Structure 1
């Protein structure tokens, strides 16, 4: 049942279509729901109604790409929920897996919080690393100046001649914004690139240890990058790999 309109408290919300989502996504959502219950937070799962608040011309401006459409839609829901009187609104992607529900926390010290990202990949025989800011986990409190600015920026970028790219309203925009004015970020949610997922399954302890050294923070949850699921490309993960990685992480945690 959806949380009723209330004053105060924290609302965790996500979105996926339970009828169409693969089993591994359901496992991730369940981990977030259980964590929210542990913390005494309310939890709401949206389906396709996630996109209901979007302006009529926004989908066409995005060429119907779901990622940029979701980037704005989740912000509009955050604004709506804050207007209902919640103290804190937290969006969590449906491909985020909570590993340590007791330790994982999103309580804000500021009016907003985004998510730190370390993206690792292999090129020319070497491991490359890139720091970014993403919106797989984001939290807002009333009075945030960043939330209305972010919503406005999405509209401006969508109206540009070429429209927003797939990541143009998410990590690409937030990373540029962070370079100009540092954003508060949660540093306990680690993004798992295909390279890191493969390292977990193959037991590449050297690579995982190097990743932990670079990350330099506890890992209480992971972002599994479901947008890369599929077959036939060097950056795509076979769907079954997600279940295998989740099982390994739930059994052993993120390798130390």
Structure 2
């Protein structure tokens, strides 16, 4: 597949594209250009392709609506002739662009090794997958069987469950449930950093970082910095700026020995 036939999609409202988040998006755009991929930033039109009953509002959170909208955008790009589409969330930072390569699988998801403190002490590690990185290749006639199935399943689940769905309902939760059964192809080097791991990175190491690396199978070449952690108050923008500086200056801090 010629590199020029792959497109990279990201979405972020223009008024939020500043500070550390802008640096993340710039790292993705630079990486895409170096690879010869096309790049598109989707602004406020992210939800334009959603059916009326799946628009974000009181019944459906913006996170869940975004999880569905990205699939429709990817499906549309394949229908319009792209040979492959890669979705990366706006808070994904490309740490080592020269090392970040895409798998040849027809579809792939990102890796999540989530580490959090136990109330009684110690650490709990959850090894899951995520949709902050999502790859789909054309399998013929502008279709991808996984994206078609994932989109149909996500829409049916949201319509059936209505209010009270957790934010990760059709993102990491659904994908991890599917992965546990069918073993989806995984981009092992596109990871995710929990607040506990971020704290360790900012302070030169610690137990959470060691456990994340211990449960990883590849060094991290790109990472979802989990912007929701700032919304929840676990991290602030100053810490996130320091984190971006740390990862770019010392990519070995998330590399396996």
TM-score, normalising length: structure 1: 0.90
Alignment of 1:46-65 (within 5 A): 46-59=42-55, 63-65=59-61
Shift of 1:165: 2.3
Match of 1:249 in 2: 247
- Which runs of no fewer than 5 residues in structure 2 stay unpaired? none
Shift of 1:206: 4.9
| Structure-2 separation of matches of 1:254 and 1:76 | 36
Q: Give the alignment partner of residue 95 of structure 1, picking from 91, 115, 118.
A: 91
Deviations 1:59-78 (A, max 9, x none): 26872411100000000000
Q: Give the alignment partner of residue 101 of structure 2, picking from 98, 101, 105.
A: 105
Shift of 1:237: 1.4
| Structure-1 separation of matches of 2:58 and 2:38 | 32
Instruction: Classify 1:127/1:82 alpha carbon distance in 2 versus 1 (closer, same or farther; 3 Å).
Output: same
Q: Does the aligned pair in 2 maintain the 1:18–1:26 contact within 8 Å?
A: no
| Structure-1 separation of matches of 2:78 and 2:222 | 25
Q: Does the aligned pair in 1 maintain the 2:99–2:221 contact within 8 Å?
A: yes
Q: Give the alignment partner of residue 238 of structure 1, picking from 233, 236, 239.
A: 236
> Aligned-residue CA RMSD in angstroms?
1.8
Q: Give the alignment partner of residue 128 of structure 2, picking from 109, 126, 132.
A: 132
Shift of 1:166: 0.8
| Structure-2 separation of matches of 1:208 and 1:149 | 35
- Which runs of no fewer than 5 residues in structure 1 stay unpaired? 1-7
TM-score, normalising length: structure 2: 0.90
| Structure-1 separation of matches of 2:239 and 2:201 | 11
Shift of 1:208: 2.6
Alignment of 1:201-220 (within 5 A): 201-220=202-221
Q: Give the alignment partner of residue 35 of structure 2, picking from 24, 35, 39.
A: 39
Match of 2:174 in 1: 173
Deviations 1:96-120 (A, max 9, x none): 00011111012x4221111121100
Shift of 1:204: 2.2
| Structure-2 separation of matches of 1:208 and 1:126 | 13
